[in-house]
Structure 1
């Protein structure tokens, strides 16, 4: 009898490896099928639930951001588009978007980015018990004091929209600014940045507003911003403008800030000194900012007109209603300051005179 000494053992190492590989692949395939089936079920459940509550959801997120539409969303998105259009005077990359593209594509994208990053910040800002109690008096229509959502659901909504804002920013631009806004929002709302010192409060406000503005510019431009000398100088000037004048927003709510123990500028140094400081600084920057761009007297008219209006109103009209109206003029004044690079570009082209 001849004995076959060949490798006919079905349990040798090579066959075992093949069997293990087949088993592993089949196990992974079945596991993925189970997970995908569960994902589809959960997805459609959420979709059906969202569809039923979509009008309420839209209303809720709108009410969270309503107060800041005129102070953050529109001014900073307008800054983004105007400055992106005049990018060459800041030594930034230029974009070849057509006129319709700027209006119908780039501005809506900048507007959407600004609002997407503002929403979780605003929810965070309105989330504490003190904020809810204050809003019961001043803004009872907001989602938390009105009972549209509770704190637990608002927290979940905030976290989801922080993630959503980061995803949006990683897709269309402004990712660095978005991440920085998360840090600033945490410092401002949870780290005492809004309450303990008016210097820190103004500093965070300046950094936050410029993060919204530069992020909107990057989205409108469609390319990452560069760190250039002219850009750094202009951003530095804008930071100084905002840091020294943003207390305008605190003049009309000193009663609420006092109840919450906030150390805002009017409460620390007094109402009258704050008003005189603000009036003088606004007038000063109404002249200095056009000078930075070497613009003529005509370019100074708009910032100076609104600067005078703000100064006069700040010193002579001291009711909460009048101060709230003055803050609206302040935001228009800021847009006139934001427009100076665009005016420079339209008047003298890409040639810089700074």
Structure 2
């Protein structure tokens, strides 16, 4: 059991802040909005942790199964690259995990979003859709949609308009800005022939696009999303909590803008991408006071 838990952690550890935490945070926002009890909070955390661990594990394991040779170049610490388990053993674990994930999605009442993510996983990884920049970016945007819809509905069957707006906003922003993820893997992507965004449009052009994109994200998030429930986009009369979230999101966006334009080594690009995942989590946490 300890070995299996260690294996699961090693598979998903790079993606906890982007694949596990966001759904948990959004689910907690749903619990808070619904006025849930402390007992319901414990249940919500347990169900959310189970669901989103499977969400991350099924995707990450299949991705790593299809990219062992690339990982030996880009991420040699991954469990399959260092032969923590055999490829056959990993394949069996993936089939079992997909089966359990389907059953858990049905049990929690979010089967349609589970099936959507499984379809994205198969197209992105097994059918090698990730080798095309548009399919990869679209897959990540759909993944955000599936994750947040499921995260909210696990806690509450009704998704309010404010939460729906955040789901749409974050899905679109991830679709546009997820090429940041590709900057850290350029060497391996070039050797494998992947047509990621930087490979197609050029590394310098990609950095400029992302720099403009993250600067714009600070402004757009402020104008469109940082508002009181049901009020027009204005900070007049906003609560201190809203102002704090607005400032944090703007500063993080601008920091990412600066980093992507000035820090070009793979390990620096990885840190920049991780900062984007932190921005994403803070944006979701802001729904506690905005929805």
TM range (shorter): 0.7 to 0.9
Shift of 1:69: 1.3
Do the aligned partners of 2:140 and 2:175 also contact (CA within 8 Å) in 1? yes
TM-score (norm 1): 0.72
TM-score (norm 2): 0.87
Shift of 1:166: 1.2
1:182 aligns with 2:126: no
Residues 256-295 of structure 1 mapped to structure 2, 5 A cutoff = 256-292=188-224, 293=227, 294-295=233-234
The correspondence for 1:301, drawn from 244, 247, 268, is 247
How many angstroms apart in 2 are the aligned matches of 1:56 and 1:236? Answer: 39
Shift of 1:158: 0.5
The correspondence for 2:180, drawn from 248, 255, 263, is 248
Do the aligned partners of 1:314 and 1:323 also contact (CA within 8 Å) in 2? yes
Matched residue count: 277
Root-mean-square deviation (CA, aligned residues, Å) is 2.1
How many angstroms apart in 2 are the aligned matches of 1:285 and 1:83? Answer: 25
> 1:153-199: per-residue Cα shift (whole Å, max 9, x none)?
21111011101111112222322111111100010012231002x12
The correspondence for 1:312, drawn from 258, 261, 272, is 258
1:47 aligned partner: none
DSSP-derived class of the 2:116 partner:
helix
Do the aligned partners of 1:83 and 1:339 also contact (CA within 8 Å) in 2? no
Do the aligned partners of 1:289 and 1:337 also contact (CA within 8 Å) in 2? no
Shift of 1:225: 4.1
How many angstroms apart in 1 are the aligned matches of 2:6 and 2:164? Answer: 39
- Structure 2: stretches of 5+ with no match in the other structure: 228-232, 237-242
After superposition, the Cα gap between the structure-2 partners of 1:69 and 1:230, relative to the gap in structure 1 and judged at 3 Å, is closer
2:139 aligned partner: 204
Residues 1-354 of structure 1 mapped to structure 2, 5 A cutoff = 54-86=1-33, 95-99=34-38, 101-102=40-41, 104-128=42-66, 131-196=67-132, 198-219=133-154, 221=155, 223-226=156-159, 231-292=163-224, 293=227, 294-296=233-235, 298=243, 299-345=245-291
> 1:55-108: per-residue Cα shift (whole Å, max 9, x none)?
22222222121221122112332133225534xxxxxxxx34124643x33233
Do the aligned partners of 1:290 and 1:340 also contact (CA within 8 Å) in 2? no
- Structure 1: stretches of 5+ with no match in the other structure: 1-53, 87-94, 346-354
